[in-house]
Structure 1
Amino acid sequence: IHARACARLADQAVRRTCPDVVFGPCMSRPLGFMETSKPIVYASDATASLLVNAYDVYRRRGRSWKAAMHDFENQAIARADRVALASRSSVQSAIEDHQADPAKVSVVPLGANVSLPSGEEVVVPAEPPRPESLDLLLVAADPERKQLRLCVEIAAGLRLRGWTATLHYIGPHRPECESEFVAWAGRLQLGNQEDAAKHRFLLEKCHIALLPSLAEMYGISPIESAAYARPAVVSDVGGLSTVILDRLTGRVLPATMPCDGWVDAIEGMVEREDRYRSFSSEAFKRHESVLNWPSWGASIRTLMEELI
């Protein structure tokens, strides 16, 4: 009922303003019920099928709710003339789980939610770490899903190999924050100027971003590190293999990889300065060319222009 009511309001707005194209970002519920004859571009970072199967908060929902979400997604994708999804995994899900026409579905990666203050510049490539100082960064609103405990074990493993590794962690407090290997930054609110400055400081300070998630629809934090020419090591779930190009802008490892495998990958990136500089340069290059909001907007505009 609510979705149909929203669709009626959207149709009224279209009749009132007469746009060339209707754009619906993450608006699967009303889009499928709209009656407008105007072409529609639907954009999202994930599909309903991926969401309800990946995250505990949705897996615990009842069957009827899950079925409704699936139906909304089916209708929105069928109704749209173009579908822009953030990752290859989402495109695959749209085709396989929601019967999308492959010809109208595109990968359009999202950008970083961070920007440099006026007058500041990023040094590219970043200065390589030294054995006496290797700084890792984990940004995790959900530290269980993003495996904070594993990240602490990775820092400990690097220390056993002669690297003085510190895990800088942004997120809610957990017992792991008391580890001697962890520098807990707290829960930062990026709308707060002081918190935003602290976030930028850590992005610039840390040599490698970690995100060994058990589930991830996309993964913004590695892009924010890439904006500061920092490579990332991530798991191969969801959209992370779209965000990070394995062995070019970082490493993409199986989510089931034991700790030693993560330690091996990081050590392989940092033990040679020229290797780290290459990762750093490529990460920044991909951010500047693809993983930014102007590029996302240009791609969406192109899809719209195809329909006019």
Structure 2
Amino acid sequence: MKIAYITTYDISNTSTWSKNQVGLAGAGSYIAKSLASQSIELDYIGCLNKNFSLLTRPKWSFYRNLLHKDYYRWAEPLVLRDYAYQISEKLFRLNSDIVLCPENAVPIAYLECKQPIVLWTDSTLAGLINFYPYLSNLSKETETNIYAMEKAALDRCKLVILSSEWAAETAINIYGLNPCKVKVVPWGANIGCDRTSDQIRILVESRVSSPCKLLFVGVDWYRKGGDLALEIAKSLNLMGLNTELTVVGCQPMTNEPLPGFIKSLGFIDKSSQEGKDQINKLLRESHFLILPSRAESYGHVFCEANSFGVPCLATNTGGIPTIIKENINGKTFALEANISDYCNYIVFIMENYSEYKKMAISSFEEYQSRLNWDVATQTVKQLMTELL
């Protein structure tokens, strides 16, 4: 099988990934590597030029400065058709069997080609409107363009693969897709893992029960629930459970001085070896990853935590319930849950430490069985083979 691998960005150059794109771009990079390891030939088509700035720049200025609304030129039909033209020019010179886009509908919205098109993403963009902050103050024009773009792309696709049940249900409900062409295949961890079950057991046994070490990882303090994680750590200490909270990815947004049990490390670049080693060390030593997100389409970091035998505590929103199975690799809480709900659960698990160890081991088993890229791409490879 020969795949034309379509992205707007250069998957090999992390410096070109935007803040809103980094999750998708990281996934795209790992998907490519995993498919290549299965002896699948990939024709990379990326680094698309963003043209028509003379048209789109005045529109952006008009919406932002006068109407105080967000306008995105990547949703403009003229830009999308130009993306499709660039891809077609390259695709014409290739002998690919299938087109796979591991990003979103943007590059394939108006793509005309003889090959069947497959989209594999974490959510439709329409599903994120008024769910994610960057899509919550849209101009009417951009919102209309997004719906039209995705409708065109999804109609062209022979197969639409989403990373969670939530994303699949959202896509079907919004666009009336035939459920037969929609499949759910969870994404993996954007982190290397050669750990074995025996190594994880040794690692879990080496974690002492006190202090309870919580790890928060996220670049968006409020959306990821950093304020809630901070209050949970405070309450646990007041309840008598010696607790530490390490914050990675952003600085805590609080008007009060940080307590001594809060460690704020800021952004850590995982593309560097030093950054990888630092993240790996934090995951090895943590008892829980805590991420009470207010909105989350998926969350690679949950899979990454599980790859170290670290259970996850999060909210029951978006794609998170596809990853976290209750009391197997963590627990999800309702969006309206009280701080005490989290605290009572953590205290119970840490006071019954044998139960914690069981959950830590089963967290790694979940990573091994379904939350890694090898399993994911093997499943997608089979789906594409059947499609052909």
Does the aligned pair in 2 maintain the 1:152–1:181 contact within 8 Å? no
Deviation at residue 200 of structure 1 after TM alignment = 0.6
> What amino acid maps onto 2:301 in structure 1?
S
Aligned to 2:262: 182
Aligned to 1:254: 334
**Correspondence list, 1:21-170, <5 A:** 21-116=98-193, 122-124=199-201, 126-127=204-205, 132-170=210-248
> What amino acid maps onto 1:206 in structure 2?
S
Deviation at residue 217 of structure 1 after TM alignment = 0.7
The count of aligned residue pairs is 308
The answer to which structure, 1 or 2, has the higher relative contact order (CA under 8 A, 6+ apart) is: 1
Q: Distance in 2 between matches of 1:206 and 1:129?
A: 8
Q: Distance in 1 between matches of 2:261 and 2:227?
A: 11
Q: Deviations over 1:14-49 (max 9, x none)?
A: 321121111112241232312212111111111112
**In the alignment, does 2:333 pair up with 1:288?**
no
> What amino acid maps onto 1:49 in structure 2?
A
Q: Which range is displaced more, 252-261 or 3-12?
A: 3-12
**In the alignment, does 2:271 pair up with 1:191?**
yes
Counterpart secondary structure, 1:123? helix
Counterpart secondary structure, 2:221? coil
Does the aligned pair in 2 maintain the 1:87–1:109 contact within 8 Å? yes
Does the aligned pair in 1 maintain the 2:209–2:350 contact within 8 Å? no
Aligned to 1:263: 343
Deviation at residue 175 of structure 1 after TM alignment = 4.5
Counterpart secondary structure, 1:256? coil
Q: Distance in 2 between matches of 1:213 and 1:38?
A: 39
Deviation at residue 219 of structure 1 after TM alignment = 1.0
Q: Distance in 2 between matches of 1:154 and 1:129?
A: 21
**Correspondence list, 1:221-232, <5 A:** 221-232=301-312
Does the aligned pair in 2 maintain the 1:233–1:266 contact within 8 Å? no
Counterpart secondary structure, 2:160? strand
Query: Residues 255 and 118 from structure 1, CA distance in 2 versus in 1: closer, same or farther, beyond 3 angstroms?
Result: closer
Aligned to 1:307: 387
> What amino acid maps onto 1:164 in structure 2?
N
Deviation at residue 135 of structure 1 after TM alignment = 0.1
Does the aligned pair in 2 maintain the 1:209–1:233 contact within 8 Å? yes
Deviation at residue 269 of structure 1 after TM alignment = 2.6
Deviation at residue 196 of structure 1 after TM alignment = 1.6
Q: Which range is displaced more, 83-92 or 43-52?
A: 43-52
Q: Distance in 2 between matches of 1:28 and 1:185?
A: 35
Q: Distance in 2 between matches of 1:274 and 1:164?
A: 18
Query: Residues 214 and 35 from structure 1, CA distance in 2 versus in 1: closer, same or farther, beyond 3 angstroms?
Result: same
Does the aligned pair in 2 maintain the 1:41–1:303 contact within 8 Å? no
Deviation at residue 297 of structure 1 after TM alignment = 1.3
Counterpart secondary structure, 2:180? helix
TM-score by length of 2: 0.75
> What amino acid maps onto 1:148 in structure 2?
G
Q: Deviations over 1:139-158 (max 9, x none)?
A: 01001111212111111221
Q: Deviations over 1:189-222 (max 9, x none)?
A: 1112222211111000100000100000101111
Deviation at residue 230 of structure 1 after TM alignment = 0.6
Query: Residues 124 and 77 from structure 1, CA distance in 2 versus in 1: closer, same or farther, beyond 3 angstroms?
Result: farther
Query: Residues 256 and 5 from structure 1, CA distance in 2 versus in 1: closer, same or farther, beyond 3 angstroms?
Result: same
Counterpart secondary structure, 1:196? helix
> What amino acid maps onto 2:345 in structure 1?
A
Counterpart secondary structure, 2:205? coil
Gaps of 5+ in 2: 1-77
Does the aligned pair in 2 maintain the 1:10–1:34 contact within 8 Å? yes
**In the alignment, does 2:91 pair up with 1:18?**
no
Counterpart secondary structure, 1:238? coil
Q: Deviations over 1:212-257 (max 9, x none)?
A: 0000010111111101001011101111111111122110110111
Q: Distance in 2 between matches of 1:231 and 1:104?
A: 33
> What amino acid maps onto 1:100 in structure 2?
L
Q: Which range is displaced more, 9-18 or 244-253?
A: 9-18
Sequence identity percentage: 27
Does the aligned pair in 2 maintain the 1:169–1:186 contact within 8 Å? yes
Q: Deviations over 1:26-78 (max 9, x none)?
A: 24123231221211111111111222221112111211111211221112111
Counterpart secondary structure, 1:246? coil
Counterpart secondary structure, 1:124? helix
Aligned to 1:204: 284
Q: Distance in 2 between matches of 1:94 and 1:119?
A: 37
Q: CA RMSD in A?
A: 2.0
Deviation at residue 113 of structure 1 after TM alignment = 1.2
